[in-house]
């Protein structure tokens, strides 16, 4: 059977990059006013009749952050090793951090990278297990970088297995790595293309009810005071939201969140993607659905780079590169790298099918 085309691979990587670079300009703001965001985006368009020579650096470059730095390290590891290799991936994460430590990394995860860089480290999963007094991180760092897993593995069981392992290199709490599994599954489904919102969500719910039913997931959720199957529950909340004619931002923030925890950001990214399949009265019509998705994510405030990078990866895999606006893409640091990585990935994916 014919698999997804190259345009979806390019779309996924470019969508993630846009989300990170555009979102990073607003990360950590509790409120993002839509007019200000739209003005910022307008500033990425070339000035009409400016007559600049081709290739001139006519607009400011928006730097990427840890989301892209580690997402690319993950991809390069998969490409070089022709699949998941924990020692190689761990080394690449740590060396990426060492090379450019000022990409806006999480406060705690840097200790994992420092330990991984030590020659004394033999078990690459150990430093992550030691985080937060042995509880492990539940941050969204495993999820923000995971899309590449779904671009290499076409089998859904492999997507689940390797998304989890890749996340466990830094995030050993199940509320961290299950977020990465959910994000990878969303990219996997998006890559398959035409799929109704209902069926997209049904499939995610049925996978996550299985993923979250194990002892570790149940005990981690209870230890933090959550109900059982917290990701599955939020997916069901998304289903309710999508059945309403409008959902206020306050409700989205209350139920799904905009925070740095995987549980308060991965479901939000998925909701943003699904919601933005339809027009939004607040977002101008000239934006296509992928642009709308990124605008909506950033308008929620909070962890804007990470929520937009995750939603951008899903939307890019779904809509393909046709919806990536050149003016936005060319504003992002090192955007040319996307094309090279996507082509190599596509080749590997086709070989493995």
Q: Convert residues 296-335 into a mask of x (bound to Mg ion by CB under 5 A) and - (unbound).
A: -------x-xx-----------------------------
Number of residues that bind ligand F2R (CB under 6 A): 24
Contact code string over 106-145 relative to ligand F2R, x by CB under 6 A: xxxx----------------------x--x-xxxxx--x-
- Within 10 angstroms of residue 308's Cβ, the number of other Cβ atoms is 33
Pairwise CA distance, residues 181 & 163, whole Å:
5
Q: If binding is defined by CB under 6 A, does position 28 make contact with ligand F2R?
A: yes
> Is the alpha carbon torsion for 82, 84, 85, 91 positive or negative?
positive
Element (H, E) at 109: helix 109-117
DSSP for 146-210, please give it: THHHHHH--SHHHHHHHHHHHHHTT--SHHHHHHHHHHHHHHHHHHT----HHHHHHHHHHHHHH
Q: Which CB atom, from 30 or from 196, has the smaller least distance to ligand F2R?
A: 30
Phi first, then psi, for residue 247 (nearest 5°) are -125, 120
Nearer to ligand F2R, 144 or 266 (CB): 144
* Shortest CB 112 distance to ligand F2R, Å: 7
Contact 298, 32 (CB under 8 A): yes
Q: Which of residues 43-82 bind ligand F2R (CB under 6 A)?
A: 65-67
Q: What minimum distance in Å lies between the beta carbon of 35 and Mg ion?
A: 23
Name the residues that contact Mg ion, by CB under 5 A: 65-67, 83, 104, 303, 305-306
Name the residues that contact ligand F2R, by CB under 6 A: 27-28, 65-67, 104-109, 132, 135, 137-141, 144, 173, 260, 303, 305-306
């Amino acid at each position: 059977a014919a698999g997804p085309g190259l345009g979806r691979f390019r779309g996924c990587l470019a969508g993630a990059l846009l989300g990170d670079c555009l979102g990073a300009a607003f990360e950590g703001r509790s409120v993002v006013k839509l007019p200000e965001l739209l003005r910022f985006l307008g500033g990425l368009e070339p000035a009409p009749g400016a007559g600049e020579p081709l290739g001139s650096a006519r607009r400011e470059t928006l730097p990427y952050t840890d989301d892209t730095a580690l997402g690319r390290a993950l991809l390069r590891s998969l490409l070089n090793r022709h699949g998941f290799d924990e020692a190689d991936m761990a080394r690449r994460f740590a060396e990426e951090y060492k090379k450019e430590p000022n990409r806006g990394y999480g406060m705690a995860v840097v200790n994992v990278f420092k330990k991984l860089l030590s020659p004394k480290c033999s078990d690459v999963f150990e430093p992550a297990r030691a985080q937060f007094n042995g509880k492990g991180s539940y941050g969204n760092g495993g999820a923000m970088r995971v899309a590449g897993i779904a671009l290499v593995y076409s089998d859904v069981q492999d997507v689940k297995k390797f998304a989890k392992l890749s996340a466990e290199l830094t995030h050993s709490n199940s509320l961290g790595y299950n977020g990465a599994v959910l994000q990878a599954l969303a990219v996997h489904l998006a890559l398959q293309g035409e799929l109704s919102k209902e069926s997209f969500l049904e499939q995610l719910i049925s996978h996550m009810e299985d993923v979250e039913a194990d002892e570790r997931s149940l005990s981690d959720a209870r230890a933090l005071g959550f109900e059982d199957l917290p990701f599955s529950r939020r997916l069901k909340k998304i289903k309710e939201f999508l059945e309403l004619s409008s959902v206020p931002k306050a409700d989205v923030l209350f139920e799904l969140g905009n925070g740095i925890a995987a549980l308060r950001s991965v479901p939000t990214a998925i909701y943003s993607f699904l919601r933005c399949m339809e027009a939004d009265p607040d977002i101008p019509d000239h934006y296509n659905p992928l642009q709308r998705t990124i605008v909506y994510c950033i308008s929620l405030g909070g962890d804007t780079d990470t929520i937009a990078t995750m939603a951008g990866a899903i939307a890019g895999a779904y809509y393909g590169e046709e919806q990536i606006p050149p003016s936005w893409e060319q504003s992002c640091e090192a955007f040319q790298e996307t094309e090279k990585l996507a082509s190599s990935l596509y080749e590997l994916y086709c070989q493995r099918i």
